[in-house]
Amino acid sequence: MATSVVTPFKHADHDHGHCVDDALAQAERQCRQRGVRLTPIRRRVLELIWNGHAPVKAYDLLDRLRAERRSAAPPTVYRALDFLLEEGLIHRIESLNAYIGCGSPAHPHVGQFLICEQCHAVAELDDNDVHRVLSAKAGELGFLVSSQTIEINGLCPLCRDPSPGTATGSASG
Amino acid sequence: MATSVVTPFKHADHDHGHCVDDALAQAERQCRQRGVRLTPIRRRVLELIWNGHAPVKAYDLLDRLRAERRSAAPPTVYRALDFLLEEGLIHRIESLNAYIGCGSPAHPHVGQFLICEQCHAVAELDDNDVHRVLSAKAGELGFLVSSQTIEINGLCPLCRDPSPGTATGSASG
DNA sequence: TTCCCTGTGCAACACTATAACATGCGAGTG
DNA sequence: CACTCGCATGTTATAGTGTTGCACAGGGAA
């Protein structure tokens, strides 16, 4: 089985501070290695995105940025997002016009996303079987694949079958 | 092989009038059967979308509608699009914010789209193997799939390997 | 007739993203 | 030190995408 889970669904009580710290540390390291600058704005936007495991919209980021930095404007956010996308630190969810942190920024890939319609949590896969099947089918029509947008909607394990005492309805932690 | 091609890539010299006529006739029939109304506006929007095998943007439709009907406004177009989407007569391409005619509206399905980055032609698949693989992978994480957005970018056969004398660079016919 | 339902007209607005040009600021160089 | 080059950010405006809310028109049913 070639299933590679980049970011699984998290339990409601997982230590989310850890997720954020890891993601930021990894980003710092990677940017240093590549000789690109993770400026305060870019770092803060990444941190805001990692506040939860749900996709975040650009103008929500802008609102939160503005609360801290009077000068924040749409370009402020979109430039930071462009940088983070470029460096593979976040992904864009096309069907939501929203952005989410990447759990495995070091190696370049396109994500395959499982999006919970109820709590909005997102898990990320990078699955070779999926790539293979799609490339094969495309190949049958003579089509040469260069990139893929794969976004699956449905119910995450917690919302599908909530255990007693388990919180649902939020992906904020 | 369970590959089902809903709409293949068309040769540049195919009889496109036929595509349009077929699509409209099928839409008329289907709407009559279901007891819903394919009004002149809705029919015209569908026809404009079927003008080519490339996705069309809402405001391009609006421009063309306005040339014929002074009163056309954004809601005019979006209401027609909502209706056509609802009836399965068109699909929305999330990664392009654009709409394309469905070649098989009779049976409900989500499409899998191959999008040519050069000529913008789009082919539509409805492939069970792809569904199966994705559902299986999702299932491994306890995720229950309800719908899928699958949009593959790359090069169509004609743009990938243009034969001498074969026109490329347009999906308008 | 009156009522109701659906479709359309119309104005305004909300949300998403980019363009264009100005300013700041730090690193490297002479 | 001054200089300048390149990148990041500030600022204003605008483009592109989609929705809300209410008014009106027409046809079928009571």
DSSP class per residue in A114-135: EEETTT--EEEE--HHHHHHHH
User: How many other β-carbons are positioned within 10 Å of the β-carbon of residue A25?
Assistant: 10
Return d(Cα A69, Cα A65) in angstroms, integer: 6
CATH 1.10.10.10 fits A5-160, yes or no: yes
What are the tens digits of pLDDT across the range A73-86?
999 999 999 999 99
Domain ranges of chain A: 5-160
Structure tokens that stand for A78 in this block: 């979109």
High-pLDDT (> 90) share of chain B, %: 84
Contact B142, A162 (CB under 8 A): no
Q: Is the pLDDT of residue A166 over 70?
A: no
Per-residue pLDDT, averaged over B113-120, amounts to 96
For chains A and B, count residue pairs whose Cβ atoms are closer than 8 Å: 134
At B51-105, the pLDDT tens digits run 999 999 999 999 999 999 999 999 999 999 999 999 999 999 999 999 999 999 9
Determine contact, residues A171/A52, Cβ cutoff 8 Å.
yes
Average pLDDT of chain A?
Answer: 92
CA angle B39, B101, B14 (to 5 degrees): 115
- Phi, psi angles (nearest 5°) of residue B70: -55, -30
Fill in the DSSP letter of residue B95: G
Using C1' positions and the CA of B60, the closest nucleotide is D16
* Residue A129 in contact with partner chain B when CB distance is under 8 A: yes
Query: Which of B118, B105, B62, B127 minimizes the C-alpha distance to A135?
Result: B127
Q: Can you tell me the distance from the alpha carbon of A110 to that of A125, in angstroms, rounded to the nearest whole number?
A: 9
In chain A, what percentage of residues exceed pLDDT 90? 86
**% of chain B surpassing 70 pLDDT:** 92
Residue A147 has pLDDT above 70, yes or no: yes
**B142: pLDDT strictly greater than 70:** yes
Instruction: Give the pLDDT mean for B22-33.
Output: 96
CB within 8 Å of chain B, chain A residues 83-122: 94-95, 112, 114, 116-117
Surface-to-core class of residue A43, CB atoms within 10 Å of its CB (0-12 exposed, 13-18 middle, 19+ buried): middle
